């Protein structure tokens, strides 16, 4: 396991790059995580380095498109900080965003806590703790110049490429009775259809992805708190974006979310 000092050093480098908008080629060897456990230890230290409240969680690489985008073959969990969470309709800066993509995602808000425990939570337990479902837009980025080649442990330290997140209003329909795996999702950029996907793109079902996150190493000693949300990964593929674009994610009966992008 990485030492506390090494985790804090890695987190300090990630935080400084995030704050300044500058990129790292890689973490120095003395701080570079060698496995997922070390990567998540550095991510936990990032929470203190950023000095902001965690309001939610994200999952990177829950689809083949998401995995290909960052060069991994398994999901990675990350934290969403308060100042990076926006309510739709939102205007968000593209400054420092090297990925330049928008992702349509299901987001689940928790009404009950799920504290850490030795045995994994079952899907039914996780869903019983959820209070609402929301359409969301993730605008991910990385603090690495070549994020697709640094590897999963370093991307875990890099907060799973978390950057900005736009949360739409809660779905007003009886979504618990719907087949979310088959539910269609569309992304429009400046009014033109850019991406089509479905809930099945995220580990087969967004509820399955949510359960993965709750039991992930990132939450092992922390759990989920009341009022936190989880955004479960890209439906379809990431949509290319540039400053000046207006992005809408359309979840049909579940609602929409909007973001305008400035330089």
pLDDT of residue 2: 43
User: Vertex 110, ends 196 and 237: CA angle to 5°?
Assistant: 15
Q: Is residue 9 part of a domain?
A: no
Average pLDDT of the segment spanning 244-255 = 98
pLDDT of residue 69: 84
pLDDT of residue 64: 82
pTM given for the model: 0.96
pLDDT of residue 63: 86
pLDDT of residue 1: 37
Average pLDDT of the segment spanning 235-255 = 97
CATH number of the domain encompassing residue 177? 3.90.850.10
Q: Is residue 7 part of a domain?
A: no
pLDDT digits (tens, 9 = 90+) for 63-75: 888 888 899 989 9
| Residue-number span of the structural domain to which 101 is assigned | 52-262
Q: Is residue 136 part of a domain?
A: yes
pLDDT digits (tens, 9 = 90+) for 19-56: 999 999 999 999 999 999 999 999 999 999 999 999 99
Residues 6+ apart with CB under 8 A from 127: 176, 207, 210
Q: Is residue 133 part of a domain?
A: yes
**Separation CA 214–CA 206 (nearest Å):** 12
Q: Is residue 78 part of a domain?
A: yes
Average pLDDT of the segment spanning 72-98 = 96
State how many domains the chain has: 1
Q: Three-state DSSP class for 164? A: strand
**Separation CA 18–CA 24 (nearest Å):** 10
Over pLDDT 90: what percentage of the chain? Answer: 94
Residue 3 clears pLDDT 60, i.e. is over it = no
Q: Is residue 92 part of a domain?
A: yes
**Separation CA 34–CA 176 (nearest Å):** 40
Q: Is residue 254 part of a domain?
A: yes
pLDDT digits (tens, 9 = 90+) for 139-168: 999 999 999 999 999 999 999 999 999 999
Q: Is residue 26 part of a domain?
A: no
Average pLDDT of the segment spanning 170-183 = 98
Helix axes 36-50, 4-20, angle to 10 degrees: 60
**Separation CA 218–CA 147 (nearest Å):** 20
Average pLDDT, the chain: 96
């Amino acid at each position: 396991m990485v030492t506390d000092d090494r985790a804090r050093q890695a987190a300090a480098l990630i935080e400084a790059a995030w704050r300044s908008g500058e990129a790292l080629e890689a973490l120095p060897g003395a701080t570079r995580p060698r496995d997922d456990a070390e990567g998540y230890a550095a991510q936990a230290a990032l929470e203190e380095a950023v000095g902001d409240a965690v309001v939610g969680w994200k999952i990177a690489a829950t689809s083949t498109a998401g995995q290909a985008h960052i060069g991994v073959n398994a999901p990675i969990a990350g934290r969403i900080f308060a100042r990076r969470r926006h309510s739709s309709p939102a205007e968000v800066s593209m400054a420092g965003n090297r990925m330049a993509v928008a992702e349509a995602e299901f987001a689940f808000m928790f009404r009950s806590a799920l504290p850490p425990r030795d045995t994994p939570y079952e899907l039914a337990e996780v869903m019983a703790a959820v209070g609402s479902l929301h359409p969301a837009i993730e605008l991910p980025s990385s603090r690495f110049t070549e994020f697709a080649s640094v590897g999963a442990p370093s991307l875990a330290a890099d907060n799973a490429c978390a950057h900005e997140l736009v949360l739409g209003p809660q779905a007003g329909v009886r979504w618990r009775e719907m087949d979310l795996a088959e539910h269609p999702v569309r992304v429009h950029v400046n009014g033109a259809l850019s991406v089509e996907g479905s809930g099945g793109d995220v580990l087969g079902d967004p509820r399955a992805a949510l359960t993965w996150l709750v039991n992930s190493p990132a939450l092992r000693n922390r759990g989920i708190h009341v009022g936190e949300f989880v955004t479960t990964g890209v439906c379809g593929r990431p949509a290319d974006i540039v400053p000046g674009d207006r992005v809408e994610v359309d979840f049909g009966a579940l609602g929409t979310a909007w973001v305008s992008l400035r330089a």
